[in-house]
Structure 1
Amino acid sequence: MRKSRWFQAGWPPLVVVILLLLVWQLAVTWGGTASWLLPSPLKILRDGTTDMPRVWMHTWATLKLMLLGFGVGSAIGLMVACVLHRMPFVKAGFYPLLILSQNIPVIAIGPLLVILLGFGILPKLVLISLVCFFPVTMSTLDGLTQTDRSMLSYMHMIGASSRQIFYKLELPHALPFLFTGLKISATYSVMGAVIAEWLGGNVGLGYYMILQKSAFRADREFVAIGIIVILSLLFFWCIAGLEKLVIRWQTKRSS
């Protein structure tokens, strides 16, 4: 019992990370590697603390951008999934195009959006929304098509309309799938925000990384990478916590 709780607490990955950081610190210290080429974890932490006011400014800008893009992209993804499920003829025409759209690299779409929409927030918002909407659309659509057939037959038998079936049976059944897509999009939104800031802008972690690359400050590059990882994890955990609050029946069933 104690062993299972220890594993459920998430300690093993934390121990591995600590060991890797320790090996990294010792390798840099004893190997005599130049700090500008490969800084030690302690130097990265020290420099991040020193530059914290500016880092926080860029982090806040990225956070606002990713939340806005995540909200827009997820809302569009949910609406698209509902429309495709309710209109099979529309799904037959657009579903292959959705799959095909994911073969276009995000970094290739960015410059085109800048040309079409300018250097403001709009191209960044569109880019993040494009990254976020696909996982939500596909996960929700998968959940809508996997509704319990016995319950579906029962709803038809008692004379429920297609609208009642959708809102009372299919959509609630698809909620776990929806949250799976939301958790994937949560991590993608951070990546999309950073890529959008690479392509244009004067604030954000992506812009901060470009500045540090020009200055050959590898330590501050690692600071930005660490913050990006932390943002992704925190956002993922927030969506996972919201899932437990919304889908109480699933939690009880799994326990």
Structure 2
Amino acid sequence: MSPTQEKNAARRAPSAHGSGGAPAAPRRRGRFLESKVADWVLPGVLVVALVALWQAIVSFGGVEEYVLPAPLDVLDKMFGDFGTFAEQSVPTIVAIFVGFALAVAVALPIAVAMVYSEIVRRAVYPLLIIAQVVPKVAVAPLFIIWFGFGQLPKVLMVALICFFPIVIDSLVGFRAARPESLMLVRSMGAGRWQAFWKIRWPWALPSIFAGVKVGITLAVVGAVVAEFVGADKGLGVLLITARGDMDSLTVFASIAWLTVIGFVLFLVVEVLERVLVPGRKSGRTFEASGSL
């Protein structure tokens, strides 16, 4: 058989990956794993499995409710006392929003100043490290002494705890702009701030949102820490009161509410990132998507 005939025979031969072969299932599985649906289905399946395991341990292990309440009882508590949890959630959410907005409003200008001024960067960067390594729980009582009980100490604690990742990631993003892109727009007559808005800002957005996503989750932690130390209302107050009463069901329900709040806030930031960062879905760079 000539080489040409061998090629034709091989072309006509049924492939092991054809429609009648078993590898069709792995291809479908690969397509599923690459789809956006998998981002929701796989975590959902894992959560359901863990909750089912939790329920089985409580139901068949003879665990007392004050030690570990059943997840179905926690859900019943969450929605059975919806009014109480909703009322206590309001001051916590307000502190999260205001403190987080304050952190962003302060972090971005500081990051910009550190990019454009070497003196500012050398003077401020060590102070940022020192502020980060100081335990926030140790600072919270000072806020109570200085500002009393109420929303202000919680707002300041939230701003302090989520400030560092935002400013550091923003600084990394602003400094990641390509020097040749900056020189190009400057050679075309653009000023420093025009170059900033055309090059540095869009280039830094992914890094900024990375810091913002870390910050929004830490904001929930900051609000609860402040409410633990001293507050008259909020989910943290409800949680610590229930802990003192050995009411594990309310403790778990409060933790679940805080988890839901943090998850929803993270999703909001994720949606904003998808809207404001061009080319994020397709993985294109800003230059490839025409943003420069």
Q: TM-score range by the shorter chain?
A: over 0.9
**1:75 touches 1:133 (CA, 8 Å); kept in 2?**
no
Match of 1:40 in 2: 70
Unmatched tracts of structure 2, length 5 or more: 1-30, 286-292
**1:135 touches 1:184 (CA, 8 Å); kept in 2?**
yes
Given candidates 115, 119, 133, the residue that maps to 1:85 is 115
Distance 1:10 1:80 in 2: 37
The percent of aligned pairs where both chains have the same amino acid is 30
Distance 1:215 1:8 in 2: 42
Distance 1:107 1:247 in 2: 35
Distance 2:183 2:36 in 1: 44
Shift of 1:12: 1.5
Shift of 1:205: 0.6
Shift of 1:5: 2.7
Match of 1:251 in 2: 281
Match of 1:70 in 2: 100
Distance 2:131 2:241 in 1: 32
Aligned residues: 255
1:233 aligns with 2:263: yes
Unmatched tracts of structure 1, length 5 or more: none
> Per-residue displacement from partner, 1:197-230 (whole Å, max 9, x unpaired)?
1111111110000110111011111111111111
**1:110 touches 1:199 (CA, 8 Å); kept in 2?**
yes
Shift of 1:164: 2.2
Shift of 1:47: 2.1
TM-score, normalised by the number of residues in structure 2: 0.82
Distance 1:55 1:91 in 2: 44
Distance 2:152 2:35 in 1: 46
**1:70 touches 1:128 (CA, 8 Å); kept in 2?**
yes
Match of 2:220 in 1: 190
TM-score, normalised by the number of residues in structure 1: 0.94
Higher helix share: 1
Match of 1:172 in 2: 202
1:104 aligns with 2:134: yes
Distance 1:120 1:220 in 2: 23
**2:149 touches 2:232 (CA, 8 Å); kept in 1?**
no
Q: Structure 2 matches for 1:103-182, cutoff 5 A?
A: 103-182=133-212
> Per-residue displacement from partner, 1:89-129 (whole Å, max 9, x unpaired)?
11111111111211111111101111122223222111111
Instruction: Kindly indicate whether structure 1 or structure 2 has the higher relative contact order, using CA contacts under 8 Å at least 6 residues apart.
Output: 1
Q: Give the secondary-structure state (helix, strand or coil) at the position aligned to 1:251.
A: coil
Pair member with larger Rg? 2
